[in-house]
Structure 1
């Protein structure tokens, strides 16, 4: 039984929303539905303090032909040893497609980020990645709490 889903991240907004490869949001919804933890491994280089929320993250779009057209080889040529590459339209003519490279996962679907435990509230990424007087990230105590909670969960299952 799956208890935790861990994903990487390309961008983290200060409110805790994240942008990552397409399909990450679907995994977060799946984790929530099945009662699993959804953890985002977020390096400090992914934090974007200038983007307020996921709604402000510009999503790169790929060509719609990647969805609407498939490439292969002509069957007769393959059998005869002559490979002829062909493209086949797999959707009705005139069909349009939206092909984003990334999706945004809202903070409320994230159980933990880089060890910063959310407990169903939004994370203050600016605070979590800020260093204290000892040079440690403020999120370190939360990481330790999350690790202890995970061990407790393992013992009770």
Structure 2
């Protein structure tokens, strides 16, 4: 079992415990991270199934922070669809979902997630080849990570925009 498979196994175990504890926010959060693992492994169907579960949690409990994470997860899913199919509407949906997430995060002033969402939007623009937008969102993400004194995140941003999408 490789590291990604082990991580997925641990996430699934954690989610099972969170379901029993009825902690919907953390369950939704854990599922959003699981979505990322599935997308990294090109398991689009599994990612889409998790998105549906997070949507149900968000609908039931109306958790604004989870809604922002869900929009971000959907955006990453749409970006992956674009990378696979090259259909521009998938890229456009990804941009729209990132923007929705950013608007929510601006409203609740959540810098860590906002910085990550700027980073992810930049990656989406990079995937569709809009370099001017890439530079704008790279700068926004880097600025927020610098404000939070997060040098490893700044390094991650710089590495990703050097051509290595993570």
TM-score of the superposed pair, with normalisation by structure 2: 0.29
Q: Of Structure 1 and Structure 2, which has the larger fraction of its residues in strand? A: 1
Q: Of Structure 1 and Structure 2, which has the larger fraction of its residues in helix? A: 2
